[in-house]
Amino acid sequence: MGTAFAVVLVFVGCCSNVVYLELLVRQFPGCGNIVTFAQFVFIALEGFIFETKFGRKKPAIPVSNYFIMVTMFFTVSVINNYALNFNIAMPLHMIFRSGSLIANMILGIIILKKRYSASKYLSIVLVSTGIFICTIMSAKQVVSSDGSEEQGFYAFMHWLIGIAMLTFALLMSARMGIFQETLYKQYGKHSKEALFYNHCLPLPGFLLLATDIYNHCILFNQSSPVLVPVVGLTMPTMWLYLLVNVVTQYVCIRGVFILTTECTSLTVTLVVTLRKFISLIFSILYFQNPFTAWHWVGTAVVFIGTLLYTEVWSSVQAALRGAGVKEKKAE
C-alpha cells in the first residue's frame, strides 16, 4: 500500500510540477529565481514544523557538515532554474538532467576510485550519446530560428551558456550525491533532516537575488486575475501557477522520500526514470515543443542507457526465471 501510494505521489506530483514550471517559464522565461525561492521557503517551513518540532529537535548530523552540502545544493538548484533564461527548451532541460546517474558514476570513478561492470560503462556511452544527439539537434533549431546570420550566432552563444550551466549543475549535483553518501555512512540515513537543512540554510543566499525576485513579484502581480475554484478567491494567474508548482514539488519530494524507505534504490531509480519519460512526452505533446525524429532517437538512447545502468533487464530476467521455477515445482 505504502509503495503504491508513493508511486502515485511521484507521478502526479512530479509531472504536475513540470507542467506548471513550463507554464511559468513560457510567460516569464527569467522567473527561475522566484520559483526556486518559493520552493525553498515552503519545504523549509514544513521541515521546521514537522521535522525539527519548531527547532526543539537537535540534528543527528552536525550542522557544520550540512553547510558544505547546502552550498552545493543551493548552487545546483539556482543554476538549473536560471539556465531556462538562456533559450533552453524544457524537453532538453529534462533530458540533460536525466544524465545525473552517469555524472555520479563518472565522479565515483574519479573521486572514490570505484570500478564498474562492462554494462555500466556501456550505459555511460549510451546516455552521453543520447544527450549529445539531443543537444546538437537543439543547437540547429536555435541557430535556424533567428533571422540573420549574426542574430543566429548570438542566439547560439546565448544558448551555449545555458548548456554550460546545465553541465556544471549536473556535475555539481553528482558531487553533492557522493558527499551525501559519505555523510550517511558516517552518521546514518536522515533523509527528512537533510531535506530540511538543504532548504533552510541557503535562504539567506537569496538576498543576492533579491532584486530579481522582487521584479518578478511585480510582474506576477500584473498577470491576469483568475478565480480559484474551491476557495472562491481571485488571484493573479502567475501566483496561482507558482503556488501549484511549489505544492506539487513538495508532493514529488515526499513521494521519492517514501519510496526510498519502502523500496530498493533500483526501484526508486526506475520509477523516477519512467516519471521523467512521461513528463517529457507530456511536455512535447501538450506544449507543442519542437521535437524532431533525431530528438526521439536521442531520448530513447538516454533512457535505454539509464535502464541498463539500473540493471532492470537482469532483474526482470531473474524474476521470470524465479516464476518459471515455481511453476515447475507446482507441477
pLDDT at 202: 92
Cβ-based neighbour number of residue 237 at 10 Å: 15
pLDDT at 126 over 80: yes
Cβ-based neighbour number of residue 8 at 10 Å: 12
Residue 195 C-beta-side C-alpha neighbours within 13 Å: 23
Percentage of the chain beyond pLDDT 90 is: 26
CB 269 within 8 A of CB 101: yes
What is the C-alpha separation between 71 and 129, in angstroms, rounded?
30
Residues 270, 283, 171: CA angle, nearest 5 degrees: 55
227 SS3 class: strand
233 SS3 class: coil
Which of these, 39, 47, 6, 11, lies nearest to 276 by C-alpha position? 11
Task: Give the model confidence (pLDDT) of 253-309 as tens digits.
Answer: 888 877 876 776 656 766 777 787 778 777 777 777 777 888 888 888 888 887 787
